[in-house]
Amino acid sequence: MSFEVKEKTEVRLVFLGAAGVGKTALIQRFLKDTFEPKHRRTVEELHRKEYEVAGVKVTINIMDTSGSYSFPAMRKLSIQSSDAFALVYAVDDPESLDAVKSLRDEILEIKEDKFTPIVVIGNKIDRHNERQVSSKDVLSRVELDWHHSFLESSAKDNINVLEAFRELLQQANLPSRLSPALCRRRETMPKESTKRPSLNKTKSCFIT
């Protein structure tokens, strides 16, 4: 008896990180291509967007979490029910990188899977003069030691925002044919230095 393996048509992504690192800004840049410079405290917000991929409806759920960690039960539930995780820190805030390390440990403990899809994002690279976190050091730790993907971004200048979401969707095994722009900009992603199970990749782009 043969079973047909259906491609996943719904995925849940969760953004975690310290307060003020730009989680909401990254999500808003992806969803609406807008940027709000004033920081707004987030409790927990779920964004839901549908796309049409090769005639199949694909739903992306994006959970924007609080950076204050005052709601541990809510955060645990978000982690349990999510397919892939974005751990965000700000390159001008070394303490926010420490938060990423703690969050990663928490995710792996709750999911009980060391191969949980995680993308570490160093945001606010537009703040060149305020940078305090070396990308080289983080890249080495994240890709070589943790075996996760890493990239740096700027929600303000719209740098690597699409790439971050595409990487999350690929790791969650959702069709990554999001848009021509996503495919064209993929080449700016850092090269992976660790071997992972091969993903179903395609150069076709169907969503506009």
Q: Exposure pattern of 142-180 as b/e (b: 16+ CB <10 Å)?
A: bbeebebbbbbbbbbebbbbbbbbbbbbbbbbbbbbbee
- Residues β-bridged to residue 87: 16, 120
CA–CA separation, 134 and 122 (whole Å): 10
Domains and CATH numbers, the chain: 10-188 (3.40.50.300)
pLDDT of residue 110: 95
Condensed to tens digits (0 to 9), the pLDDT of residues 171-195 reads 887 655 554 344 443 444 444 433 4
Condensed to tens digits (0 to 9), the pLDDT of residues 113-167 reads 888 999 999 999 999 999 999 999 999 999 999 999 999 999 999 999 999 998 9
Average pLDDT, the chain: 81
Q: Token pair for residue 204?
A: 């076709």
Does the pLDDT at position 100 exceed 70? yes
pLDDT of residue 69: 61
